[in-house]
């Protein structure tokens, strides 16, 4: 008897994500887990139309897969470019003081909106990857106005957590769109 299986994104043997290294130092491990989480977000959004990417979860939520991509571009920007790199003049990619939820609210079913979101996200990820690769230590820090000194180590752990939480949202959103379940 064949066991019924849910419609999974991928066959476990052909998972395109890069496994985190099982026996490396702290930096390589943190970077590996963050890369895996980033690749998971891309996987959850793969092969969808702008309409599907912009589809809201349930009323009154404005959360969508496209909104998550835009949100994570702003999160990457905030922690790495503004925080760790100290570029306080750099403004978020999508949110503003006047419209703090513009990352989600502005996620509309338009091909250019989708392209802009992925472009911004990839630029911010590339900046973060370069910053982490060039950082002399995980102990480097910046002064956060709410938390005080924040180390690069803390930012990396936080980013893994941030992606993991939102990838859980992405699982539910994707299942609502086409019934596909993630690993």
**Domain edges within the chain:** 48-178
User: pLDDT tens digits, residue range 19-77?
Assistant: 889 999 999 999 999 999 999 999 999 999 999 999 998 888 999 999 999 999 999 99
> What pTM value is reported for the model?
0.92
48-178 domain in CATH 1.20.120?
yes
Task: Report, in this order, helix, strand and coil percent for the chain, each rounded to 5.
Answer: 55, 5, 40
User: pLDDT tens digits, residue range 131-166?
Assistant: 999 999 999 999 999 999 999 999 999 999 999 999
CA max distance for the chain: 62
Q: Is 154 exposed, middle or buried (0-12, 13-18, 19+ CB in 10 A)?
A: middle
């Amino acid at each position: 008897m064949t066991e019924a299986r849910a419609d999974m994104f991928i066959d476990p043997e052909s998972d395109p994500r890069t496994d985190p290294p099982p026996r490396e130092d702290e930096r390589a491990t943190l970077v590996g887990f963050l890369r895996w989480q980033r690749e998971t977000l891309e996987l959850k959004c793969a092969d969808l139309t702008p309409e599907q990417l912009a589809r809201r979860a349930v009323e009154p939520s404005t959360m969508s897969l496209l909104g998550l991509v835009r949100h994570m571009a702003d999160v990457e920007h905030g922690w790495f470019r503004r925080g760790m790199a100290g570029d306080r003049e750099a403004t978020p990619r999508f949110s503003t003081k006047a419209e703090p939820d513009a990352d989600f609210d502005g996620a509309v079913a338009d091909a250019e909106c989708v392209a802009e979101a992925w472009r911004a996200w990839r630029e911010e990820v590339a900046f973060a990857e370069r910053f982490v690769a060039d950082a002399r230590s995980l102990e480097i820090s910046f002064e956060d106005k709410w938390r005080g000194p924040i180390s690069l180590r803390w930012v990396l752990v936080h980013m893994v957590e941030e992606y993991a939480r939102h990838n859980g949202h992405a699982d539910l959103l994707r299942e609502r769109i086409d019934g596909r379940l993630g690993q």
